[in-house]
Structure 1
Amino acid sequence: MRRSRSLVRSLALFLSPALALAQAPAVDYQRAEQMLTWNALRHVSGDQVAPTFYRDSTRFWYRVMTPRGAEFISVTPTSGQRAPLFDNARLAAALSRAADSAVAAGTLPFQRFDFADDGRDEKRIRVRVGKRDFVCELAGYACTKSDTLPDRRRYVRSPDDQWEAFASGHNLWARRTGANDSTQLTTDGIALHAYGVTSRSPTQIKQKLPDIAQVTWSPDSRRLVVPRVDERGVQRFHLYSSTSARPTAYDYPYALPGDSIVPMTDLYLVNVPAGTSRRLESPPQPQMSFYAFGGSLAQWSPASDRVYFTHVNRGPRKVQLMVADVAGGPPRAMAADSAASYVVGSIDITNGAINWKPLRNGNVIWFSERDGWAHLYHLGADGAVRHQLTAGDWVVTALLGVDETAGRVYFTARGREAGRHPEYDFLYSVGLDGTALTLLTPEDADHAVTAVPSGKYFVDTYSRVDTPPVSVLRAADGRIMKELERADISALRATGWRPGEIFRAKARDGVTEISGVMYKPSDFDSTKRYPVIDHIYPGPLITPVSKEFFPSRIAFSYSTMGQVQALAELGFIVLEIDALGNTGRAKAIYTREFGNLGDNGIPDHVAAIQQLGVQHRWMDLSRVGIYGHSGGGFSSTDAMLRYPDFFKVAVSTSGNHDNRTYYNGWGERFQGLLVRDTLRGTDNYAPAANKTFAANLKGKLFLIHGDMDDNVHPAHTLALVDALVKANKRFELLMLPDADHGLTQHPYVIRRTWDFFVENLLGGKAPDEHVIAPPPR
């Protein structure tokens, strides 16, 4: 395969330039398409373990790809037993008979299932095939067609499985599990001031997604805490679906930086059996999550007698840990943290970790950056620090659990192990008094760890960019009890695939070390010169650089979104670079872009690329491109406008090009509160807006946006377009009808991105109307 592809390229050199340009990319496009994540994964087996837990909170099952197709595996940690959950062949035969259509054992037509009787009956499963539901007996392997059940995602089950809470008609309701009769728990909810839910977005409406009440049940299942968000008076955004004869209008509340009215949240304590509720008497707080991407504000004491919650101000510059007694009385402030920039509850907001936990004695394990690094503290019931549990020039990423009986705290962290990649996560435990800190996952790799809810075990999938995943079941002391999966990539290697290469470089200051990953085409030839493409996301609190094996699906991966290996196959060197504003560092380093989002870490990218160019003569720094999505769309265009002599070509999708038009909780966190200069007619956000520098454009710029993007409104791109037109600049624009924010797996967007770089950076001619097959649904 490699030899034939190289032969085609060699022959192209002797053909006329026009013919060579027409032929070589066609071969490359086919090759690149093989490396799209959903295609490459077909050549990988055993790549991950994403556990789904049984009702006993200890056993779990997972779906895994094998050479025989997808299989479902059940694991019993107490015994270390790992076994198929069912016989694929017999289940496929039973489904074939019931559905009156062929079902193959290696391609069962479902990825998830539910045990029957709301999870109580493990001898029967409920699956959906197409639009029909079936119940299958696992003893005799007989399947029968079932009535289609309503979407159960809207029901939030209590810990004892006796109650289900749900939102309806702006209010909160509860019912006995499986019952039809419901009890209305609140009665004064209205539109724009509802319990447990906010206004439905256009995406929710178009995709018919359910409203899921944001409630936190007490351990005794008698009470719950529910937020009530006041959106009244918040100004609205508008979108139009224009693919029908009569366009459809959508509007929704959307607060911007500097708005006088933003969504405000109160918390209510609800007694479910009694059907009563009361507001927790603390000032309403802006809907500006301490965790940035979500997470409950509240947690319960183990005895269900106290509610703990975080309260932030607008920014947020300050967070308070509040505690309220169920018996009554106003909440009191237990602890607080503040920062000149902003406070966070996690240094990696993609993992959604809630890094604090109440203990039985009223003490709390608390996450804080008060010493300049993300660490854990053991607070007394009075809020005073009893023990700093972790300390040093490294960061805690997630609090996974506390075993109070054993006196151990379990967490993941980065940067502690000398000689290891600073972005790798490792699992640790430490005593409640801060002693005996122990590394539990010694393998030199990034560890994606899931705590088994019972607290005695962990599921650990570890890998590196150049090392396939291994998934193991660990005991609480780190011992490997069972190897669950070891990825086999032999079929992937047979396609010519090559892993990314980790590199080190110095940041703009010439001192601070930064890292990245380089992707080369599979037929890389060091005697040739390759154009370079930078795949960028600026942070903050999100890293664009792969740590885990590609194309692993272990967690959110910006690399997967960018399909970096596929792009490299077209004849590019593709880079991902961890700039100083990215996560995993001291607070003073990762917040250096605070108030200056227009920096985007681009000076660090330029510095790193220049250093690599000196080291590798096959990198052609006269041809450097850049691309990115969302924040990466913003920063890729920014790079073209601020460094027009360095970056020559950019593709920017769904960019938040002016954060004055983006969600206030993002801009006010990372750029600061909007400050207007009425005398000069400007503000502190203008220097970070791309349209301010539209006149600087020299290279080739391709802007892409979905016209139904309710996250980053298309006004971001259109306002930039307006500025570029006024500056008399040439650029390309693609508006995708009825497309929302998720464009990274859109086949047409991928193909047009390839076309743009091939024609404007590689100097080739893109094949006519190449069709990329979409990912499987």
Structure 2
Amino acid sequence: MKKTWLTMALASVTLCISSQLYAVNLPALDKHIVGGKEPLTIERMNASPALAGKSPRGLKLSPDGGRVTYLAGRADNQSFYDLWQVDVKTGKTSILVNADKLASGELSNEEKARRERQRIYGQGIMEYQWSADGKFVLIPASGKLYLFSLSSGKVSSLPIGEGFATDAKLSPKGHFVSFIRGQNLFVLNLANKKLTALTKDGGGAIKNGMAEFVAQEEMGRYTGYWWSPDESKIAFTRVDESGVELVTRNEIYADGIKLTQQRYPYAGKTNVEIGLGIVTVKSGKTQWVDLGKNKDIYLPRVKWLPDSQNLSYQWQSRDQQDLQLRVVDVSKPKSSKVLVQERSKAWINLHKNLRFLKKQSDFLWTSERDGFSHIYLYGVDGKLKKQLTQGKWAIDAISHVDEKSGWIYFTGRKDTPVERQLYRVKLSGGNIERLSEKSGMHKAVFAKNKSIYLDYFNSLTQPPQISLHNSSGKRLSWIEQNKVVKGHPLYPYAGLWQVPEFKTLKAEDGQTLYSRLFKPVPFDANKKYPVVVRVYGGPHAQRVTNSWSSQDYFTQYLVQNGFVVFQLDNRGSANRGTKFEFPIYKHLGDVELNDQKVGVDYLRTLPFVDKKNVAIYGHSYGGYMALMGIFKAPDYFKAAISGAPVSDWHLYDTHYTERYLGNPNSNKKGYELSSVMPYVKGYQSGLLMYHGMADDNVLFENSTRVYKALQDEGKLFQMIDYPGSKHSMRGEKVRNHLYKSLADFLNKELK
């Protein structure tokens, strides 16, 4: 049988994690690769059509399971999205809604910021929602709202009045559309087209139904309101930002400077004051939940119980060492009951795995109380009934609960932490069944009213593909196989595409570190090659995985131009349990750098590595790590590329920074040692920094402080600043210039 470039030769690697052995199968490319051997260029990395081929986003199943819908970029513009559908029975693919039918225009500043927090980039249709009966689709576009009718095939504009609508939602039964405008919550009755403002005091520092900055950026909560299942009530947050420091931030563009006022909650400073209200849709009357005397708290999650009479919310202490799942009867909003309380001497990781069951008075909850994230079954009285999963491996997410058949479907790392697989376990407990088969990363999207799911899969050798499965895991059909053959955008370059070699190393405390190494192509074992250590290194992230990522395109470019590329997930990174994460608590940039040095020590043992020419490159937390590397360990790193780095943790936000460093008022020494500033004098040479000059996440000041400190020391370095760019450095032209600059720098410093 003729082998293709996607053929996997399985390399068995035995790994030891916390005294438990795992036999891990990792893919390796066959030597005979079918595909073109055209060198990858930086321009092609960022051009359309996307190298990954048909890689849709916003994947959903219609309520009846009859259609698969998704957003797909156009062949001539991968950043412009239309809404597509696949008929499950016939497999026929067609466009459902052409984005040209909708309004186009400039987004509001609030919506721009919200999308930046969600990491949503592009134009056209960026989000949509099915109605509960599957007859309509709600589509927001440029501040307007549209309903697409499946029966007529027509798009109609909803009468929502003047102004820009954000965070639009169809109510659970499809009778209303809600949205935020002017920092107030509105509801449109779809039957009589009556528009009602449910809050009226929004404006200035008061925001109703909106997620505050840290909720969006750090908690993964992008909304501030929640419909009750019976549509009679809406729970919403009222945020008062008046106590938060008002910062006048310069957003520097090519044609001028925009002065932007932003309430930015710096570490140790005042947060917003948050309230939780419950408004009755019919009367407009609001009741307020008593959250307690302590106002300096977080409200990361809110969720209704199925009866629409009880509302749950998660109360988190400012130090994030106490997380309480509380429930309140809406008829008695002044009295809440604590169902679950989680405590930690470091911090509690938030999750979205709360599931209230409908057929029994129980709920599912995940906890890391035994060191790894696992599923627990509780009664609604707060009594623990059973731990349903256990072991030295972590749950990623509860994907679906089928109460009728008694199955819980979830993704996790039971077989290896470098892959995400789909499993299921009975609600009554018992053996865990693995449903997914392929090595790589699986994400499941289940239909609401039918026992089928979509498997969104990718791996190092397979760009994202989508298949339809029954509840037992059997594949029923391909939705998008995305096979790399002639005609696929990647095919001309496939013959040079490299898959890394995985390796495990030991940290100073004996814990296992995972790494991967990409060799140059063509590779000559008798040559010495310079190395680029690509790093992120921060918490809640993982880079050493068997996954497809556009971030690896530049890695492929580097290996095709004579570089070894190495990645290692240091302690503090995700999906390895609390013992692996917690060593960074109260002192950042120390343990992480020590682990990266372990990686370099390993590289130095390889005969094909040029030990004198090793660079470190990272963005965001990775940019911070790159600065720490070149400042604190110049004997390990000859050069460094630091993108949009945090340089002083006093300049970053409360929720993220205090989670890992505590409050600066009580951990002054930790903040000082975690800043890059005390180590500037250790810098010798070989630094390139870049930053977006309109970055509202890691503020541009983080880089300018380093610039000034280096200049005061008389140290030579390079910097590239991008007018108008935010934290993620979006835009084809920006990315082309950026990566060309990085490649030129590495060639000059290491070759």
Question: Residues 159 and 126 (structure 1 numbering): CA distance in 2 closer, same or farther, change over 3 Å?
Answer: closer
Aligned mate of 1:193, from 202, 206, 211: 206
Q: Which amino acid is the alignment partner of residue 298 of structure 1?
A: V
Q: State the partner residue of 2:743.
A: 754
- Residue 563 of structure 1 deviates from its aligned partner by 2.9
- Residue 212 of structure 1 deviates from its aligned partner by 8.1
Work out the percentage of aligned pairs sharing the same amino acid. Answer: 22
- Whether the 8 Å contact between 2:63 and 2:130 is mirrored in structure 1 is no
- Whether the 8 Å contact between 2:324 and 2:339 is mirrored in structure 1 is yes
- Whether the 8 Å contact between 1:156 and 1:215 is mirrored in structure 2 is no
Under a length normalisation based on structure 2, what TM-score does the superposition of the two structures give?
A: 0.81
- Whether the 8 Å contact between 2:353 and 2:365 is mirrored in structure 1 is yes
Q: Which amino acid is the alignment partner of residue 237 of structure 1?
A: V
Q: State the partner residue of 2:353.
A: 355
Question: Residues 307 and 368 (structure 1 numbering): CA distance in 2 closer, same or farther, change over 3 Å?
Answer: same
- Whether the 8 Å contact between 1:372 and 1:586 is mirrored in structure 2 is yes
Q: State the partner residue of 1:344.
A: 349
Question: Residues 226 and 137 (structure 1 numbering): CA distance in 2 closer, same or farther, change over 3 Å?
Answer: closer
| 2:487 counterpart of 1:498 | no
Aligned mate of 1:306, from 293, 306, 310: 310
Distance between the aligned counterparts of 2:427 and 2:135, measured in 1? Answer: 38
Q: Which amino acid is the alignment partner of residue 581 of structure 1?
A: G
Aligned mate of 2:585, from 586, 591, 594: 594
Deviations 1:22-63 (A, max 9, x none): xxxxxx997432662546834x54556752344657632235
Q: State the partner residue of 1:216.
A: 226
Under a length normalisation based on structure 1, what TM-score does the superposition of the two structures give?
A: 0.78
Question: Residues 718 and 429 (structure 1 numbering): CA distance in 2 closer, same or farther, change over 3 Å?
Answer: same
Q: State the partner residue of 1:6.
A: none
- Residue 661 of structure 1 deviates from its aligned partner by 0.7
SS in 1 for 2:382: coil
| 2:261 counterpart of 1:251 | yes
- Residue 521 of structure 1 deviates from its aligned partner by 4.0
Distance between the aligned counterparts of 1:266 and 1:735, measured in 2? Answer: 40
Deviations 1:516-569 (A, max 9, x none): 333344433333221100111112011123431344xxxxxxx35x73222333
Q: State the partner residue of 1:384.
A: 383
SS in 2 for 1:409: strand
| 2:570 counterpart of 1:584 | no
Ranges in structure 1 where 5+ consecutive residues have no aligned partner = 1-27, 96-108, 205-210, 291-296, 347-353, 552-558, 763-777
Question: Residues 258 and 430 (structure 1 numbering): CA distance in 2 closer, same or farther, change over 3 Å?
Answer: same
| 2:266 counterpart of 1:278 | no
Deviations 1:734-773 (A, max 9, x none): 23222221226632222221221111122xxxxxxxxxxx
Q: Which amino acid is the alignment partner of residue 708 of structure 1?
A: A
SS in 2 for 1:155: strand
In the TM superposition, what are the counterparts of 1:101-120 in structure 2 within 5 Å? Answer: 112=125
- Residue 637 of structure 1 deviates from its aligned partner by 0.7
- Residue 126 of structure 1 deviates from its aligned partner by 9.2
- Residue 181 of structure 1 deviates from its aligned partner by 3.5
- Whether the 8 Å contact between 2:240 and 2:274 is mirrored in structure 1 is yes
Aligned mate of 1:269, from 246, 261, 278: 278
Aligned mate of 1:451, from 440, 446, 449: 446
- Residue 499 of structure 1 deviates from its aligned partner by 2.8
Larger deviation: 51-60 or 357-366?
Answer: 51-60
Question: Residues 286 and 413 (structure 1 numbering): CA distance in 2 closer, same or farther, change over 3 Å?
Answer: farther
Aligned mate of 2:480, from 482, 485, 491: 485
SS in 2 for 1:311: strand
- Residue 86 of structure 1 deviates from its aligned partner by 5.1
SS in 2 for 1:51: strand
- Residue 251 of structure 1 deviates from its aligned partner by 1.2
Distance between the aligned counterparts of 1:319 and 1:87, measured in 2? Answer: 43
Distance between the aligned counterparts of 1:282 and 1:457, measured in 2? Answer: 40
Question: Residues 156 and 522 (structure 1 numbering): CA distance in 2 closer, same or farther, change over 3 Å?
Answer: same
Distance between the aligned counterparts of 1:169 and 1:191, measured in 2? Answer: 9
In the TM superposition, what are the counterparts of 1:229-628 in structure 2 within 5 Å? Answer: 229-243=239-253, 247-259=257-269, 261-283=270-292, 286=296, 288=298, 290=300, 297-329=301-333, 330-346=335-351, 354-360=352-358, 361-414=360-413, 416-417=414-415, 421-454=416-449, 456-491=451-486, 492-495=490-493, 496-509=495-508, 511-551=510-550, 559-560=551-552, 563-599=554-590, 601-614=592-605, 616-628=606-618
SS in 2 for 1:729: coil
- Whether the 8 Å contact between 1:631 and 1:656 is mirrored in structure 2 is yes
Q: Which has the larger radius of gyration?
A: 1
- Whether the 8 Å contact between 1:287 and 1:665 is mirrored in structure 2 is no
Q: Which amino acid is the alignment partner of residue 93 of structure 2?
A: P
- Residue 289 of structure 1 deviates from its aligned partner by 6.2
Question: Residues 280 and 502 (structure 1 numbering): CA distance in 2 closer, same or farther, change over 3 Å?
Answer: farther
- Whether the 8 Å contact between 2:643 and 2:690 is mirrored in structure 1 is yes
Deviations 1:158-184 (A, max 9, x none): 111111222234332212138654222
- Residue 322 of structure 1 deviates from its aligned partner by 0.2
Question: Residues 546 and 344 (structure 1 numbering): CA distance in 2 closer, same or farther, change over 3 Å?
Answer: same
Question: Residues 122 and 533 (structure 1 numbering): CA distance in 2 closer, same or farther, change over 3 Å?
Answer: same
